[in-house]
Chain A
Amino acid sequence: MSTPAVHAPAAAASVPTVPALATKSLAVGLAGIALTALGLLISGSHAVATAWLVGLSFWTAMAIGMLLLVLIHHVFDAMWSTVLRRQLEHGLAAFPWLALLFLPLLLATWFGARDIVWPWLNPAHVVLPEGKTVGADLIYAKKSGFLNLKALTIATVAFFAVWIWLSARLRKASFSQDADGDIKWTRMNRVTAGFGLPLAALSLTFAAIYWIKSLEYHWFSTMYGVWYFTNCMRGAYALGVVIMFWLWTRGDYKGILHQDHWHSIGKMMLAFTVFWGYIAFSQYFLIWNANMPEETFWYNLREYGDWWGVGMVLVFGHFLLPFLLLLSYRYKVKPAILQRIALWILAVIFIDLCWNILPAIKDAHGNPQPFLSLNLLWAATSTAGVGGVCVWAYLRSFSTAKLIPIRDPRIGESLVHHE
């Protein structure tokens, strides 16, 4: 059985050309990477490598978020998001490049300074303020089965393998269906979604623990994977809106997107804004209420110097402002306004990742180096560098398939989506 192609605007039926933007974004990416490399000479390898982790985890979050959206789309047999799904599938093309860009961190750890990013990889690393080294630290000894170089390497390879494999299956099925309209591709995607969701959930949780939480390996929080997950989802929705707006103003999405598509994605953005507020508050509140030094030190580090202000920016900018704006129906159905809210959310996700990662760069007294320092610049160049490559990967994939999955069984309903 095959699904016939639907009647859709002409733009949807043809394969779009590679936008000139592709070379530009690759240039931005390479420039960002070059600037970050320059930072090695100025701020030293530890600070720059840690800042590189900000750029990597930001764009990995975007790609994981897109992967989750496609998986969730299939597992729910969703309708309205079919017109957007193809663009998310193009976004998944970034995974192999993200793996490649992660490689320098692993190589530097294997062959260079062990603690270039993660302190627990070097037994001689001094765990302040006690003056004790990692090697003499009982907490490390207890966690060493999990926190060691081999485990980190195997886990990181496994994470990217899972993400690349799931993406390849989803992309292949979706693109093949454009040609033959065979329903078996939809069924295959449903199966991928069934086992892919738990795999993606576990891998992103462990990635957040290994890459980010372990920067302060004494600390623990069961909310941490959920925190990263929320940023993945919020990032993917925000990026989805940015892509929708780009294709809509360019004319590709004219006659495809309706007010209700904007409204639907806006509502999901609101839901995950509330969810971020919920989990970020829960994590803080439980630690604040228990008031145990073994947990509170992580927040104390983030109240030191100008980091306190950054925390306030997150409370009001990552939660309250988008929450109040997205409550409004009018803002959700006006593409230009929704796109601005989406860009703001992307900016605060970057700040959120800085707030979680950069305090790992300490000064001589063991206090976090300030937020407004060169480290922020390297985090920004890293994010631009990794981002340029990811956007280039997206745009390269963009011109290999039709704008929307034209023979998906749900595309007809999605084109006339109405609440």
Chain B
Amino acid sequence: MAAQPYGLIAGFSNPSEIFHAAEKVRDAGYTRWDCITPFPVHGLDNAMGVKRSMVPRFSLVGGITGFCTGMSMIWYMNGYDYTLTVGGKPLFSPMFAFPVSYELTILFTAFATIIGMFVLNGLTKLYHPILKYEHIRRATSDTFYIVIQADDPRYNPANTRTLLETIGGRDVAELEA
């Protein structure tokens, strides 16, 4: 079989095992790999060396865009394109433009956050190679898995398999792409 596999998968039986195994995979310098656990394991993100999500940057850009959109929209409409005096108020004031700008800040922040999260997660995705693994359902009940992807620069079929076995992984298997 000449096709490049998706990667290697190894099973662990409890949170403490996968926690320490994750630290070793991290220290071995792998970057394209993941843990699959039946429930959230606190502190696993640190053990994996996962950096903070970039989603807040998307949110910030979305928020600033929303605020500026609201302000410039009201200025353009009432202060420039179709000037109209309402209730003796100035043609443009940030006061009455504020509620709209504030709403658009929230709306655009929400859009940017959701879209940013989807983009960074690689969603939407109709199919994932891991789902072809025959025992993967156990990841929803009693087994913790580490998957190291074949496109990781440090990936080597023999060495990566040895690493997964030495850190306590059981049933190390190759995943079809």
Interface residues of A (CB under 8 A from B): 281, 284-285, 288-289, 291, 327, 329, 416, 418
19 new A-B contacts, CB < 8 A, other than A291-B89, A416-B42, are A281-B98, A284-B95, A285-B95, A285-B96, A285-B98, A285-B99, A288-B95, A289-B87, A289-B89, A289-B95, A289-B96, A291-B87, A291-B88, A327-B56, A327-B60, A329-B52, A329-B56, A418-B42, A418-B43
A284 to B89, CA, bound (A): 15
Question: What residues on A are CB-neighbors of B56 within 8 Å?
Answer: 327, 329
Nearest chain-B residue to A260 (Cβ)? B42
For A327, the chain B residues whose CB sits under 8 A away are 56, 60
A108 CA to B56 CA, complexed, in Å: 55
Query: In whole angstroms, what is the CA distance A291 to B43 when docked?
Result: 55
Name B42's closest neighbour in chain A (CB-CB).
A418
Task: Give Cα A327–Cα B109 distance, bound, in whole angstroms.
Answer: 13
List the A side residues contacting B89 at CB < 8 Å. 289, 291
Q: Which residue of A lies closest to B56 (CB)?
A: A329
B-to-A contact residues, CB < 8 Å:
42-43, 52, 56, 60, 87-89, 95-96, 98-99
Contact count A vs B, C-beta below 8 Å: 21
User: What are 21 inter-chain pairs, A to B, with CB distance below 8 A?
Assistant: A281-B98, A284-B95, A285-B95, A285-B96, A285-B98, A285-B99, A288-B95, A289-B87, A289-B89, A289-B95, A289-B96, A291-B87, A291-B88, A291-B89, A327-B56, A327-B60, A329-B52, A329-B56, A416-B42, A418-B42, A418-B43
Alpha-carbon separation in the docked complex, A384 to B145 (Å): 59
Alpha-carbon distance between A281 and B98 when the two chains are bound, in angstroms: 9
- Cα distance A418–B98 in the bound complex, in angstroms: 37
Q: With a CB–CB cut-off of 8 A, which chain A residues contact B98?
A: 281, 285
Chain B residues within an 8 Å CB radius of A284 = 95
Query: Could you say which residues of chain A place their CB within 8 Å of the CB of B42?
Result: 416, 418
Q: Which residue of B lies closest to A416 (CB)?
A: B42
Q: Report Cα–Cα, A37/B87, bound state, in Å.
A: 49
How far apart sit A329 and B56, CA to CA, in the bound complex (Å)?
9
Which 9 pairs from chain A and chain B are nearest by CB?
A418-B42, A288-B95, A285-B95, A329-B52, A281-B98, A289-B96, A418-B43, A291-B88, A329-B56
Which chain A residues border B95 with CB–CB below 8 Å?
284-285, 288-289
How many Å from the CB of B58 to the closest CB on chain A? Answer: 13
Indicate the member of B52, B60, B88, B95 with the most A CB atoms within 10 Å.
Answer: B95
Measured CB to CB, the closest approach of chain A to B120, in angstroms, equals: 16
**When chains A and B are docked, how far (Å) is the Cα of A288 from the Cα of B90?**
12
Q: Please, which residues of chain A bring their CB within 8 A of the CB of B88? A: 291
Considering the chains assembled together, what is the distance between the CA atoms of A285 and B99 in angstroms? Answer: 9
Residues in A whose Cβ lies below 8 Å from that of B43: 418
Give the CA-CA distance A231 to B99 in the complex, in Å. Answer: 22
Chain A residue, CB-CB nearest to B59? A327
CB-CB under 8 A from A281, the residues of chain B are 98
Q: Chain A nearest CB: distance from B64 CB in Å? A: 11
Complex Cα distance, B42 from A416, in Å, reads: 10
> When chains A and B are docked, how far (Å) is the Cα of A331 from the Cα of B169?
38
A residues less than 8 Å from B87 (CB atoms): 289, 291
Task: Return the chain B residue nearest A281 by Cβ.
Answer: B98
A289 and chain B: residue at smallest CB distance? B96
CA distance A164 to B42 in the complex (A): 41
CA distance A119 to B99 in the complex (A): 36
Bound Cα distance from A285 to B97, whole angstroms: 11
Considering residues A284, A289, A291, which has the most beta carbons from chain B within 10 angstroms of its beta carbon? A289
Contacts of A288 in B (CB 8 A): 95
CA distance A387 to B77 in the complex (A): 51
What B residues does A289 contact at CB under 8 A?
Answer: 87, 89, 95-96
A170 to B76, CA, bound (A): 56
Q: In the complex, what distance in Å separates the CA atom of A284 from the CA atom of B96?
A: 11
Query: Complex: how many Å from CA A62 to CA B89?
Result: 39
Bound together, the chains give a CA A284 to CA B87 distance in angstroms of 17
Bound CA span A28–B30, Å: 58
Residue of B nearest to A327 (CB): B60
CB distance from B11 to the nearest CB of A (A): 25
Chain B residues closer than 8 Å to A418, beta-carbon distance: 42-43
- Distance between Cα atoms of A284 and B42 in the complex (Å): 45
Distance between B103 CB and nearest chain A CB, rounded to angstroms: 12
Shortest CB-to-CB span from B101 to chain A, Å, is 11
**What's the Cα separation between A291 and B89 when bound, in Å?**
9
Give the chain B neighbours of A329 by CB distance below 8 A: 52, 56
Query: Which residue from chain B places its CB closest to the CB of A284 in the assembled complex?
Result: B95
| Cα distance, A281 to B94, chains bound together (Å) | 12
Q: How far is the CA of A416 from the CA of B43 in the complex (A)?
A: 11
A416 contacts which chain B residues (CB < 8 A)?
Answer: 42
Q: How far is the CB of B138 from chain A (nearest CB, A)?
A: 25
Give the Cβ gap from A214 to chain B, nearest Cβ, in Å.
Answer: 27
Q: Taking the nearest CB of chain B, how far is it from the CB of A319, in angstroms?
A: 12
Nearest CB on B from A281, distance (A): 7
Q: Which residue of B lies closest to A418 (CB)?
A: B42
Q: How far, in whole Å, are A281 and B99 apart by their CA atoms in the complex?
A: 10
